[in-house]
A and B are shown apart, each in its own frame.
Chain A
């Protein structure tokens, strides 16, 4: 599914998946800094994560301060808090 066809909960799920790939490969690269395949994997998922966070911020509000783009109100503070549970 393309990112622009996802609903909010699907996009959040996608962000969780690609972000997990980035965290896991970061720790692997910390001890295998020359692994070319791992570096390629990092670049791939890191870009997917950046794009997904940007897309989420535009449609539903920012999850990171770097994707916050407030207009007339401070939308960062309006986002649900992650421990609340629910659909996403």
Chain B
């Protein structure tokens, strides 16, 4: 269950439309390391996560990623709003424009549509948490790449906020991984899958 809050997590106020930048930034909407993949990844993985606290962490971070998805959409919207077909074409936006006009659609910068194959839900707590940590780093790298390409401070400001959140979430997932490993045999964390094999790991102690 979710409730909507009628505000962005961090403000986006862009006064200079620029479809060239929009084409780059849309990758964090529907690209391989974008916010849609992030949110679906964590919100999908949580159902079979046997440790309640870690499932809760996946829920809270997956929820924040939805707010990031909305921020990216707001950036793309404000960068393309009010531009004419000629202006969009001059910025190299014609291939997007012909299919979506100035609507928001999840794709990577190169035009590849959003695809669930961009993330995993493997049904193994250790595998999934390593994927989550890698995902946060991949998104951080993408934001670094965006910051090298984009100079408009009104765009860079919210992008820097999002980049910082990738680092915090990497830290949190590392802590989540340690919480899972604390419940497993420290001589061999990989002996069994705590999400699947009966009796694997200590799943009784949910309140500790």
With A16-B9, A26-B60 as known contacts, state yes or no: A31 contacts B70, CB within 8 Å. no
Please pick, from A20, A26, A30, the residue contacting B10 in the complex, using a CB distance under 8 A. Answer: A20
Q: Which of B45-76 contact A (CB under 8 A)?
A: 53, 56-57, 60-61, 64, 70, 73-74
Q: Which of A54-74 contact B (CB under 8 A)?
A: 62-66
Interface membership of B111, Cβ < 8 A: no
Contacts of B74 in A (CB 8 A): 82-83, 85
CA gap between A12 and B168 in the complex, in Å: 24
Complex contact B60–A85 (CB within 8 A): no
Please pick, from A19, A31, A64, A79, the residue contacting B175 in the complex, using a CB distance under 8 A. Answer: A31
Complex contact A16–B7 (CB within 8 A): yes
Minimum Cβ distance to chain B for residue A49 (Å): 11
Interface membership of A41, Cβ < 8 A: no
Minimum Cβ distance to chain B for residue A17 (Å): 10
Complex contact A64–B172 (CB within 8 A): no
Give per-residue flags for A20-47: 1 if the beta carbon is below 8 A from chain B beta carbons, else 0.
1001101110111100000000000000
CA gap between A19 and B63 in the complex, in Å: 14
Contacts of A1 in B (CB 8 A): none
Q: Which size class do B's interface residues fall under?
A: 20 to 34
Minimum Cβ distance to chain B for residue A10 (Å): 12
Provide 21 A-B residue pairs closer than 8 Å at the C-beta atoms, listed in order of the A residue: A13-B11, A16-B9, A20-B9, A20-B10, A24-B168, A26-B60, A27-B60, A28-B172, A31-B53, A31-B172, A31-B175, A63-B5, A63-B6, A64-B3, A80-B6, A81-B6, A83-B70, A83-B78, A85-B13, A85-B14, A86-B13
Q: A30-B57, A85-B13 are in contact. List 12 more A-B contacts (CB 8 A).
A: A16-B8, A16-B11, A20-B10, A30-B53, A31-B176, A63-B6, A64-B6, A66-B3, A83-B73, A83-B74, A85-B12, A85-B14
- B: which residues have CB within 8 A of A? 3-15, 53, 56-57, 60-61, 64, 70, 73-74, 77-78, 168-169, 172, 175-176, 179
